[in-house]
Amino acid sequence: MSINDFLTKENTDLLWEVLIDDDILKYKSKEIITQINYIFKQNLSGFYEVEKNNSQNLITMNKKFITIIMNYIN
C-alpha cells in the first residue's frame, strides 16, 4: 500500500478502529464518539492534501493522523 491509499475505505476504517479501541475512547458517551467521528471524517482529506508530499509511507502518515486526532481528543 502506498500513500495514495490513505483515503481508501480500507485504510480509513483501519484508522477509525485504532482510535475507537483506545482506552481514552472506551469510556466516552455515544454523543462524544459521534462528534469525534465527524471530526475524524472532516479532517481526512485536508490532512492528506497537506501530508501527501511530506510523508515517506502510508504507515507514517497513518501514525501522524492518529496522533493528531488523539491530541484533539485529549
How many Cα neighbours within 13 Å face the side chain of 59?
0
Could you report the per-residue pLDDT of 3-57, keeping only the tens digit for each?
Answer: 999 999 999 999 999 999 888 888 889 999 999 999 999 999 999 999 998 878 9
Ordered by start, the domain boundaries in the chain are 3-73
Query: For position 73, what pLDDT does the model report?
Result: 84
Q: What is the DSSP string of 20-58?
A: HTSHHHHTS-HHHHHHHHHHHHHHHHHHHHHHTTT-SSH
This prediction's pTM: 0.89
